[in-house]
Structure 1
Amino acid sequence: MTTILDTLSRDYLHGKEEVLRLSMVALLTGGHILIEDLPGLGKTTIALALAGITGLSFGRVQCTSDLLPSDITGLSVFNREEGHFAFLPGPIFNNIVLLDEINRAMPRTQSAMLEAMEERRVTVEGTTHHLPDPFVVFATQNPSDQSGTFPLPESQLDRFLICTGIGYPPEHLEKGIIAGGGIRERIGGMTPVASTADILAARRCVETDIYLSDRVVNYIYALVAATRSHGMIQTGLSTRAAISLAQAARAAAFLEGRDYVAPDDVKGIAVPVCAHRLVMRPDQETVDRGELLRALIADIALPLA
């Protein structure tokens, strides 16, 4: 799996190492990732590149205010020649699904994703259809203060394992990107360095072979408990969030080549996994959740070996 990261960061996506690492964490845990940042910083390119280098199937949905749930899930159409209805699957039936500008879709359409993201299936006209494995949603989101955007409901935010940004690349890298131009054509001709079987095998390894000690479990619980008793937070981290943090820490350890989770794995992944799940008190909505979580982490002693 490190070959995937090395190839992408070296040959295609300069200056985006951290978001690539988080994307791999999502892929290795079967989680979903929400990337929030300004247009034009490479959010879509990252999802395309990850699909290309792994050989996984790719589907894309450009979210707009008139997008319907059936545009994502698919619908049944009448086949006149055979005399019955046939289901035409939508773009959700791919391994990697890019929901571009997800917060431009109406809440009704956003809610259509909940079953797919949680259960790995969709129900259309009373019939359940299972999604492929692996299945990962890459959603991009414009800043909420831009016109024509709708805030994601808390229940949907909670389905994203990771929420992160990209930011501008360093000056010397951005100049190189400007000189080299776009890379979409190069990504289209990318040779996969892993297969679906490789991804599924790595995921099984993360689930079963990465040891999570009691002291690390206690450390995760201490962080979760701290968010539940903080005066600025209305709703702290749930048990689902704690499980997600443990899963992400296992994947982070795997990418580091270890068969056990260290406290630093938890510390390093906690903000992108947990910050977007915090519900602030109404008078604290402007507080930076990431900075608040970092302050909480700093106050919790790392467990001794």
Structure 2
Amino acid sequence: MGSGSSTAGGKNTTTPEQRSVTRALTLQQFHRVIKSTIAEIHSIYLDPTGKVSSVLNDLTHSESYELELLINGCSNSEAKIVTSQLQYAVENIIYEVSGIMPTKGVLATSYKSSGIYELIRERNIFPDGYFLQCEIDRLHFDDRSGILHVGDGEAFMLLIGMFITRGFVTTLLLKPVEYRLLTLGRFTGLAESNLRVLATVLLYIVRQVSVIRGKANMVIPRELQRFVFTDEEMRPVYGRLTKAIGYGERLLKEWGVEYIRRLRIAQQYEEEYR
């Protein structure tokens, strides 16, 4: 039972903040939720019949184009071909992510058994090392390290951080063998290089859309600097991918806003009826 007094008719008079504290998951529960949420996202991305898996396979097989040519320099004809492949990968991955918004399950927009719902609940304590420093700088925490003041901007950053930063960049793309994207035999220098380029582009899009009022634009997280290319190195690549990056940003913003709108409705429902 939650803390606080009740009227003679039994109506709970606790404040929304008090109810949020009462209903925050235990540390162990929430950490299990985080793990199961990432696992569910990976199951979608790694589905051998899915588009994401197909796109990643195209970038990592032995006959793939070398995406790093766009950084190191190549002929104009080569650049057009390589740009086309990278653009196709970025646009299709973002499109597939933007199609994820189930009403049931771990990724659901309801409050029942949804890890995504718990992701934006205040007072939950995230696992040590979950956040990058640039994310910590944009969030608020209580003296127990529970997350506070999760407005729509913060919720959007948490959502994008789960589906792309953790769902792709820091797991599948930068640790492809550990997270079962590639077998050790398929983890070639070409595959590693191409995944690194893709990770850098996706991280760039995350940085562009993760804007919180009053905060500076997100830089490359210092924890990832040695694993991705610098903005200076990627300048010619971003120039060639202007349309794909713009497309990805628009799609993610629309998707994120709608996802959060539905989660907020679920929060209102929980506060009123649960």
TM-score by length of 2: 0.26
Between Structure 1 and Structure 2, which shows a larger proportion of strand residues? 1
In the superposition, the TM-score normalised over structure 1's length comes to 0.24
Bigger fraction of residues in helix: 2
